Amino acid sequence: MEHKRPAPRKTAKAVAATPADMNARPDVRGRIEVVETFFDHDGRPIKHKELDAARVSRAYDAQGHQIEERYFNAEGKPTVRKDLGAARISWRYDGDGRQVDTTFFGPDGAPVRRHPAPPRKRALQQA
């Protein structure tokens, strides 16, 4: 009895990266950068549907706070995540580790909007 191989799929699906697939390295400022890339079945970078990006780069400071997130298309160029309207997000923290503000940037690197963190009392009331 001869077994036939199934026909190759014609649709590409994103393969979620596992921690072993992620590339974490310190950058020139001592931050840790984690890069997550999504591939099709043939190993080509493809856009992750929910993120609108083929690659996401996340940076963390020495205290473990996420300080930046960037989105890139399959060609490696900055791309806008539609639900956020930004290609990069930056967070700042005070000396006690509390988030001070969030800034959103377009693909050209220019800020598109900024959100100061709510005062501590108001943040606690909203929780």
pLDDT in tens, 21-41: 445 555 556 778 888 888 888
Residues 109-122, buried b or exposed e (16+ Cβ, 10 A)? eeebeeeebeeeee
More confident residue, 37 or 16: 37
pLDDT confidence of residue 124: 43
> Residue 20 above 60 pLDDT?
no
What is the extent of the structural domain holding 43?
23-126
Residue 37: inside a domain: yes
What was the pLDDT predicted at 78?
95
Tell me whether residue 93 is in a domain. Answer: yes
Note whether residue 2 is domain-resident: no
Residues 69-80: tens digit of each pLDDT: 999 999 999 999
**Total domains present in the chain:** 1
Who has greater pLDDT, 29 or 97? 97
The Cα diameter of the chain in Å comes to 73
What is the percentage of the chain residues whose pLDDT exceeds 90?
35
Question: Considering only CA atoms, which of 124, 62, 117 is closest in space to residue 92?
Answer: 117
Task: Establish if 14 belongs to a structural domain.
Answer: no
Closest CA to 110 of 87, 84, 82: 87
Give the pLDDT band of residue 52 (cuts 50, 70, 90): confident
User: Does 7 fall in a domain?
Assistant: no
Which residue type is seen at 14?
A: A
Token pair, residue 51, equals: 């993120």
